[in-house]
Amino acid sequence: MGYSRYNKDCDYYIFRYQEAEKEKSQKEEERLAIWHAKHRREKPVYTYTEVRQMLEHGDFSPVPGYDVEDREFLRSQLEKLVPDVDEEHKGAG
């Protein structure tokens, strides 16, 4: 699922990242890609736990290309991920 895609008004491509050869992961191992247009070659991917920590601390500086002006946008997009992952893993483990 994509949460954000590059366009003239958005420098981020944010989506759930799955490696084809991996089986379904535990909730804490779920991955979210957060790619900034100017840093897309780096292809950073974060775990569910790392995303929760960024949200809890309001610190998105681990994201290459992050600028303080992007804070609310990133927060709003990442806040969509957490309930999606929680719902998918409801009742598991």
Q: Specify which residues 46 forms β-bridges with.
A: 32
3: nearest Cα among 75, 63, 61: 75
Task: Give tens-digit pLDDT for 36-73.
Answer: 999 989 999 999 999 999 999 999 999 999 999 999 99
pLDDT number for residue 1: 52
Bigger pLDDT: 23 or 46?
A: 46
Task: Give tens-digit pLDDT for 69-87.
Answer: 999 999 999 998 888 888 8
Contacts of 75 (CB under 8 A, 6+ apart): 55, 58, 60
Per this entry, what is the length of the chain?
Answer: 93
Instruction: With H, G, I as helix, E, B as strand and everything else as coil, classify residue 48.
Output: helix
52: nearest Cα among 14, 29, 26, 78: 78
